[in-house]
């Protein structure tokens, strides 16, 4: 059960008002009437049961009355009207903002008389009043009307129909979504649905939210009959969330996920869209009878991967920007919508532990194309391939038996690796660390030690270099150990006793009796 304001602070029952709306109205009004809220003050109750004096009418006040007039001129923000009948001696004036467009001079229209200013000889009229007055007697709950917002109060909006008919709209009924700034509606004309009518005081309660919901339901029904996957539709961005943006297609909202906004990598949807923006989107998927609509923004534009093979070939040198790094490499933006992988193994001829040792986000690098796969949207790049390969002609720069200097970069159980120049490392085997037996590498060298050693061998094909410290102190011995062929393995049973017949080992031949052929 609902109630209606009777102008005295009491509210008469009005049946069938939505329970939620009734509660919202109650919360907004408290123990005040709509009239109290609009006027901003309570009416003082007559003392001792007296009837009290009737409120005085202000100067120039007139009763609600329709007037007919001819548009005389339009000047700045005012429309001047020549009235017919007994008021022809007075000039009428109407605010221009009450018209959808400037009226044609000479046209005849109906107006509502608001007040008379005898001093200026003006009759203040209201065009909106004339429009609404003709339908006032026929207006019922549920009627769609248009009202102008004149001000705000603690509970919502104050509006006018017919110039003298006041209306109230609770804040929760202003829009389908929450509105933070009610002041932005002041001066606007709003379509709304009548919720309550108080004919005695000519005040009504309005809901723009219900009007919009009714309109949206009708639009949604029509939209869902037409909507199909792969369609391109126009819409308006209604809200932005961390994972995407919602777009109103005209009765139903669809989600553009952040991954479907741009072929380029983006971190925030607001980089691409803004609330209120008009966009064209592609319908990707419709689920749950239209309750979930997946939309794509980037799918409306050409996919840059479709023509990538025509622009990039293996071996091409290009420039790209680092957009992010991972443990296995870096992602490079070659052009908007095209990202390629720079593997960590292709970052430097030098062994590195993590990509940040070579590049960081937003660095611009010169790179070489290693692979292009348009179907899988993959491209791989190399940074080291645009640099000189340190192993090229290494055997000429570091011939065998030459002495070199380097730095120990790491050690293992079997030896130490020495960096001779950037990207070129040689191995000192543990047997080549000293001219004595060495149990652990750290007995002789440690990581970071500058080391002088001798080149034993360079294999450019396998990218290997053998080095020796021992060769510096025992010339010739180390080289002999490297060049010496390993002895052949004896495939027969191992002898443990003396040779038969006591002949022993003759001339190193090791011939026994059983080897003689008689």
Query: In terms of pLDDT, which residue wins out, 62 or 251?
Result: 251
Rounded mean pLDDT, 180-202: 85
What is d(CA 251, CA 237) in angstroms, rounded to the nearest whole number? 13
**How does 137-149 read in b/e, with b if 16+ C-beta sit within 10 Å?**
eebebeeebebbb
What is d(CA 358, CA 348) in angstroms, rounded to the nearest whole number? 8
What is d(CA 344, CA 352) in angstroms, rounded to the nearest whole number? 8
* Residue carrying structure tokens 């509660």: 23
pLDDT at 111: 81
What is d(CA 332, CA 310) in angstroms, rounded to the nearest whole number? 19
455 bridge partner residues:
467
Q: Which of 175, 252, 249 is nearest to 220 (CA)?
A: 252
Residue 144's pLDDT band (cuts 50, 70, 90): confident
pLDDT at 2: 44
Q: In the predicted model, is pLDDT for residue 426 greater than 60?
A: yes
Cβ atoms of 58 and 114 closer than 8 Å: no
What is the third-level CATH fold of 227-300?
Answer: OB fold (Dihydrolipoamide Acetyltransferase, E2P) (2.40.50)
pLDDT at 322: 95
407 bridge partner residues:
419, 450
236 bridge partner residues:
248, 278
Rounded mean pLDDT, 207-219: 87
Residue 365's pLDDT band (cuts 50, 70, 90): very high
Rounded mean pLDDT, 137-166: 81
Q: In the predicted model, is pLDDT for residue 315 greater than 50?
A: yes
Rounded mean pLDDT, 109-130: 76
**Element holding 479 (H helix, E strand):** helix 477-483
Question: Residue 377 burial by CB count (10 A; 0-12/13-18/19+): exposed, middle or buried?
Answer: middle
Rounded mean pLDDT, 212-221: 84
Topology agreement, domain 66-131 and domain 394-482 = yes
pTM assigned to the model: 0.50
What is d(CA 261, CA 498) in angstroms, rounded to the nearest whole number? 89
Q: In the predicted model, is pLDDT for residue 275 greater than 80?
A: yes
In the chain, what percentage of residues exceed pLDDT 90?
44
Rounded mean pLDDT, 143-164: 83
Q: In the CATH hierarchy, which top-level class contains the domain 305-386?
A: mainly beta
**Angle value at C-alpha 178, between 173 and 182, nearest 5 degrees:** 70
Q: Which of 121, 130, 117, 50 is nearest to 91 (CA)?
A: 121
- Ranges 1-5, 98-102, 235-239: which has the least confidence: 1-5
pLDDT at 143: 81
What is d(CA 156, CA 182) in angstroms, rounded to the nearest whole number? 7
Instruction: Report the CATH number of the 66-131 domain.
Output: 2.40.50.140
pLDDT at 52: 35
Cβ atoms of 402 and 394 closer than 8 Å: no
Query: In terms of pLDDT, which residue wins out, 76 or 64?
Result: 76
Residue 216's pLDDT band (cuts 50, 70, 90): confident
Q: In the predicted model, is pLDDT for residue 93 greater than 50?
A: yes
Domain ranges in the chain are 2-42+139-211, 66-131, 227-300, 305-386, 394-482
pLDDT at 25: 62
- Of the CATH numbers 1.20.1250.20, 3.30.499.10, 3.90.550.10, 2.40.50.140, which one belongs to the domain with range 394-482? 2.40.50.140
Q: In the predicted model, is pLDDT for residue 458 greater than 80?
A: yes
pLDDT at 14: 43
- Ranges 366-370, 403-407, 477-481: which has the least confidence: 477-481
Q: In the CATH hierarchy, which top-level class contains the domain 2-42+139-211?
A: mainly beta
């Amino acid at each position: 059960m609902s109630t209606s304001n009777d102008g005295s602070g009491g509210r008469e029952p009005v049946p069938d008002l939505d329970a939620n709306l009734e509660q919202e109205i109650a919360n907004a009004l408290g123990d005040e009437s709509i009239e109290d809220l609009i006027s901003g003050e309570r009416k003082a109750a007559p003392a001792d049961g007296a009837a009290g004096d009737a409120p005085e009418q202000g100067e120039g006040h007139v009763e609600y009355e329709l007037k007919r007039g001819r548009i005389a001129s339009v000047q700045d923000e005012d429309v001047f009207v020549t009235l017919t009948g007994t008021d022809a001696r007075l000039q009428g004036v109407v605010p221009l903002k009450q018209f959808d467009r400037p009226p044609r001079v000479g046209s005849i229209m109906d107006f509502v008389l608001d007040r008379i200013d005898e001093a200026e000889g003006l009759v203040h009229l209201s065009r909106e009043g004339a429009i609404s007055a003709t339908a006032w007697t026929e207006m019922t709950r549920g009627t769609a009307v248009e009202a102008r917002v004149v001000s705000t109060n603690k509970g919502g909006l104050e509006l006018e129909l017919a110039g003298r008919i006041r209306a109230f709209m609770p804040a929760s009924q202003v829009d389908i979504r929450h509105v933070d700034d009610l002041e932005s509606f002041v001066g606007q004309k709003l379509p709304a649905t009548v919720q309550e009518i108080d004919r005695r005081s000519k005040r009504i309660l309005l809901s723009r939210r219900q009007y919009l919901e009714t309109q949206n339901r009708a639009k949604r029904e029509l939209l869902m009959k037409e909507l199909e996957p792969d369609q391109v539709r126009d819409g308006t961005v209604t809200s932005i969330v961390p994972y995407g943006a919602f777009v109103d297609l005209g009765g139903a909202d669809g989600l553009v996920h952040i991954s479907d906004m741009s072929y380029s990598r983006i971190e925030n949807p607001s980089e691409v869209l803004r609330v209120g923006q008009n966009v064209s989107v592609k319908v990707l998927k419709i689920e749950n009878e239209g309750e979930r609509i997946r939309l794509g923004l980037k799918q409306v534009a050409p996919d840059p991967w479709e023509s990538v093979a025509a622009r990039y070939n293996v071996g091409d040198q290009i420039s790209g920007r680092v957009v992010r790094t991972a443990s296995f490499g870096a992602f490079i933006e070659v052009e908007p919508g095209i990202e390629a992988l720079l593997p960590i193994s292709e970052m430097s001829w030098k062994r590195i532990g993590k990509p940040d040792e070579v590049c960081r986000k937003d660095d611009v690098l010169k790179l070489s194309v290693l692979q292009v796969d348009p179907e899988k949207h993959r491209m791989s790049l190399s940074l080291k391939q645009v640099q000189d390969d340190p192993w090229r002609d290494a055997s000429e720069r570091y011939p065998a038996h030459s002495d070199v200097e380097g730095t120990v970069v790491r050690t293992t159980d079997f030896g130490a690796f020495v960096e001779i120049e950037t990207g070129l490392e040689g191995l000192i085997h543990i047997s080549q660390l000293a001219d004595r037996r060495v149990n652990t590498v750290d007995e002789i060298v440690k990581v970071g030690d500058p080391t002088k050693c001798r080149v034993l061998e360079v294999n450019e094909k396998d990218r290997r270099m053998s080095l020796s410290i021992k060769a510096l102190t025992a010339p010739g011995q180390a080289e002999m150990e490297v060049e010496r062929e390993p002895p052949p393995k004896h495939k027969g049973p191992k002898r443990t006793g003396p040779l038969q017949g006591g002949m022993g080992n003759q001339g190193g031949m090791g011939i026994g009796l059983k080897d003689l052929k008689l």
